[in-house]
Structure 1
Amino acid sequence: MHENDISYLIRKAAFEIHSTLGPGMLESVYETLMVHELKKTGLDVKTQVSLPVVYDGLVLNNAYRLDMLVENKVIVELKSVENILEVHHKQLLTYLKLTGHKLGLLINFKVPSIKEGIYRKVNGL
C-alpha cells in the first residue's frame, strides 16, 4: 500500500474519533483509539517504537519513541495540546530523517475541527 493511501486511512480514523469524542482527552487515549480504528481496517500498527540515534560511533538505543508507525511506512506523532509549536514539526521531520521514511503525520486532537490539527510532513516523497 502506498504512503498516500495509508495517510488517507489515518486521517479518516482521526476524523472519526474526533467527531465522536471531541478534543478533551489525553494523548494516550487518542493513541489507543487510533490503534483500534486502524487495526479494524487491517493496517499493521506499532506504537511507542524505539528509535536509536547513532553519533560518532556512539549508539543511543532508546533516544526517541515514535508514537505510531503504520504499515512500517508512515510515522504518526500524536498531540493533545493548545498550540502546535515549531518544535513539534521539527520533531517529526527529525524522525523521518533518522528512519528514512517518506511520510509523517502530526495530529493534534485539541482543536475545534480536526482539519485544523492535521499536518503532513514529507521526506523525499
Structure 2
Amino acid sequence: MTENEISKIVFETGLKIHKKLGAGLFEHVYEECLFYELKKAGFLIEKQKLLPIVYEDLKIDNAFKLDLMIENKVILEIKTVEYISPVHKAQLLTYLKMSNCKLGLLLNFQSDVFKNGVTRIVNNL
C-alpha cells in the first residue's frame, strides 16, 4: 500500500473519530483511538516509537518519540492546539528525515472542521 493510500485511510479514520468525540480532548485520547481503529483495519502500527540520533560516536537511543508510525511509511503527529505553527511542521519534517519516511500527517483534533486541522508534510515523496 502506498503512502497516499495509507493517508486516505488515516484521514477517513480521523474524521470518524472527530465526528464521534469532537474537539477538546487530550492528544493521547485521539492517539489511542487512531491506534485502535488502524490496528483493527489490519495496519502494522507502532505507538510512541523511539527514534535514535547519532552524533559522531554518540548514539542517543531515545532522541525522538513519534506518536504513531504506520507500516514504517507514514508518521502521524497528533495535536490538540489552537493552530498548527511552523515549529509543529518542522518537528514532523525532522521525524521524517530521521526515519527515512516520505509522508507525515499532522492531525489537529482541536479544529472545528477536521479537514482544516490536517497538514501533510512530505520528505522526497
TM-score (norm 2): 0.97
Aligned residue in 2 for 1:48 = 48
Q: Quick check: 1:27 aligned with 2:24?
A: no
How big is the alpha-carbon RMSD for the aligned residues of Structure 1 and Structure 2?
0.7
Unpaired segments ≥5 residues, structure 2: none
Residue of structure 2 in register with 1:107 after alignment: 107
Q: Distance in 1 between matches of 2:66 and 2:112?
A: 25
Q: State the alpha-carbon separation in 1 of the partners of residues 92 and 107 from structure 2.
A: 11
Aligned to 2:13: 13
Give the match for residue 120 of structure 1: 120
Describe the SS at the equivalent of 1:77.
strand
Letter paired with 2:66: L
Cα displacement (A) at 1:37: 1.1
Paired residues, number: 125
User: 1:55 deviation in Å?
Assistant: 1.2
Q: Distance in 2 between matches of 1:39 and 1:98?
A: 24
SS at match of 1:111: coil
Shift of 1:95: 0.5
Q: CA deviation at 1:104?
A: 0.5
Is 1:62 aligned with 2:62?
A: yes
